[in-house]
Amino acid sequence: MKNFKHVLKIASLYSSLSLLLFVKTGFAEQRPNILWLTFEDTSAYELSLYGNKDAKQPNIDALAASSLVFQQATSNAPYCSPARSTLISGNYATSYGADHHRAAVDASPSRMYFPSLLKDAGYFTSNNKKRDYNVKLSKTELAQIWSEFDKKATYNSPKRKSDQPFFSVFNGHMTHMSRLTSYTSAQRRDFSQSAGVSSDAKPDYLPDLPEVKSDHQFHLEGVVDVDSWVKFFIDDLKAKGLYEDTIIFVYSDHGGSSPMGKGFLSFRHSLQVPLVIHVPTKFKHLVPTNVETLQNKQVSFVDFGPTVLSLAGIPTPKEMRGQAFLGELENHTRQYNHSFRTNQEDHFDPWRGVSDGRYHFVQTYLKRKPIMLRNDFQWGMPSNIALDEFAKTKSGQVFRRKYYSFKRGEYLYDTKTDPLEQTPLRNLTAEQIAVHSELTAQVSRFIRETKDLGFVPVEFKKDKQFEQWLAADFNYNKLYDLVELVSTVSLNNVPELTKLIDDKSPVIRFWAVQGFAELAAQGVLKSVPKRFIEVANKDHSAVSAVALETLVYLEQKGAVEALIKNDSKLQKRSALETIAYLRPELLLSHVRRLEQSNLNKTTVKVIKSALGVIKATAIASKKQLKDGIAVNKERRELYPLPSVKQK
């Protein structure tokens, strides 16, 4: 973090100037408290406020009656750490390499932690307890951002002066997907009795399987608990005489826990979040006049930091790409919400999306990667395990073709006529052709304007600040042109790809080899240039793994054996699982070799399940199943709470 202190010095100077602005304008006399109540893994449609009739949240409904309720608010990423990185910086996580979920990076010199600006301007800042910003920060560095940041952090802290405004963040864990990762639905409660959840509740976009229903109802129990959790804070603020001085944000960190929600780019299931903002009467002047327009704006997490700063009277630093949608300095004019996902656990499979409020467009870049490649954490949910088995049945073949085989290079949905995003638009009308053209261009511009680093595989990122990942003269547009070429690759592109496998940058070579792998998986490539064989044998292990995957599709002698021995753990796992779904006959004779390899036991079981050699229900260990029973019996406590005394 060699540049971090320099950043905070700049931030401190910036905040000092902002504090002078408060004094000159009189704003300092009426600065609001700001409270964020963040819960996890919950889509907007899962709340009664947004139409869910299967579980009620009366306290949030009551708060919403006198609050702003946003209809188009989205997380920029469909999983925790990249979403939270975007929240805390006011910038897209892809711009500083914090977009690869669970691959924390060093802090960036161009990165701004907006609570530090509030702290320097006189605010008491607290974060209890989860941060998950996908960056490496020491306690000393955290202390320059937060007045308190442990499990006791609260606006009720004795360290906060009686007249000191606060920005306080609490992260409720009641709805996190981990409450569902029990591997079995045995011994679960009757959720209609424990939380009033409808016994008929189920995700209406998935096959009607008992495990799918059980997971969904288990999650809704957590949503009911969130409602009780929110009430604790409302009651506490009122008891402390703070309610009329505090602007309250209630929202989820991204969409829901049902399969193909978290980790995927679906507007309804993974990106659209509930967002309720309560603004007390004395601060109504901080809300734009046209409330209906405001509540339908395309706001997203990148805007939250600038909005909080605006509410406190602090201008948005130029480093931030977000736009304030509330406050004296409101400047929100953006018409699109952008989204990104870079990986699904071990699988590097970038997607980029954009929504204009009605149409949702998703661009993928590696069509051969099936949508349902396994994320071992998420596949702790019985619903995902059951879907894997359903896809092997006769009645599940349509489902299998859609989710366990090649995916489309792009998806365009009309969320007005198809809110569940089940059928990508085809045979476009003239209006839809224009929309498609504009949204495609928006995604292409987005990755270039934000200098998107999500196309750099994690193997090239380790133990470095992002400025060191690529050479100083690295041609970013060359990379973006290449990934877009790969997304629509044809045999006509082979000469260009052949030249690029000799590029000095391993990142360019990696993507050039991906182009060959796409063609080979589709069965249209019959041979590779001689130089390609050298790449498969001698290049960086991540590049080599993809090259070897290509040779497996071409049935090159010894390719499977070489791939199994490859040193790139992530690319190897992803390649083998992809082959198992697309061309199982190429691996079936190598099952024994897989079992005797240095691959971990879970990975071998996953590949065997994809091949149909074992059932998906056989992947979990005895310990996981035993521990899962305990998960099923547990109803999470409401935590953290606003009191100083914490567990």
Q: Which pairing describes strands 359-364 and 410-414: parallel, antiparallel, or unpaired?
A: antiparallel
Round to whole Å and give the CA distance between 41 and 497.
40
pLDDT at 427: 97
Phi, psi of 602 (to 5 degrees): -65, -45
Q: Which pairing describes strands 105-106 and 33-39: parallel, antiparallel, or unpaired?
A: unpaired
Per-residue pLDDT tens for 156-170? 999 999 999 999 999
Per-residue pLDDT tens for 482-530? 999 999 999 999 999 999 999 999 999 999 999 999 999 999 999 999 9
Task: Give 318-383 as a DSSP string.
Answer: TT------SSTT-------EEEEEEEETTEEEEEEEEE-SSEEEEEES-TTS-TT---TTGGGSHH
- Domains assigned to the chain: 4-180+216-337 (3.40.720.10), 471-599 (no CATH)
What residues of the chain score a pLDDT lower than 70?
Answer: 1-29, 107-111, 462-464, 644-647
**Contact 121/312 with Cβ under 8 angstroms?**
yes
Ramachandran area for residue 244 (φ above 0: left; ψ -120 to 50: alpha; else beta): alpha
pLDDT at 136: 86
Round to whole Å and give the CA distance between 483 and 29.
52
Q: What are the helix (H) ranges across 415-565?
A: 430-449, 476-487, 494-500, 506-522, 530-538, 541-553, 559-565
Sign of the dihedral defined by the CA atoms of residues 250, 173, 632, 259, in that order = positive
pLDDT at 111: 66
Query: Which two tokens mark 616?
Result: 């998906």
- 295 membership: H or E segment, kind and range: helix 291-295
Query: Whole-prediction pTM value?
Result: 0.94
pLDDT at 24: 39
Residues near 143 by beta carbon (within 8 Å), at least 6 away in sequence: 149
Query: Which two tokens mark 202?
Result: 């189920």
The candidate with the shortest Cα–Cα distance to 360, out of 378, 338, 391, is 338
Round to whole Å and give the CA distance between 15 and 6.
14
Scan for tokens 């305990």, then name that residue: 630
**What one-letter code names the amino acid at 176?**
H
**Contact 252/40 with Cβ under 8 angstroms?**
yes
Residue 191 CB neighbour total at 10 angstroms: 25
Task: Give 275-289 as a DSSP string.
Answer: EEEE--GGGGGGS-S
pLDDT at 27: 46
First to last CA, the chain: 32
Torsion of CA 316, 317, 321, 325, to 10 degrees: 0
Residue 29 CB neighbour total at 10 angstroms: 8
Per-residue pLDDT tens for 244-303? 999 999 999 999 899 999 999 999 999 999 999 999 999 999 999 999 999 999 999 999
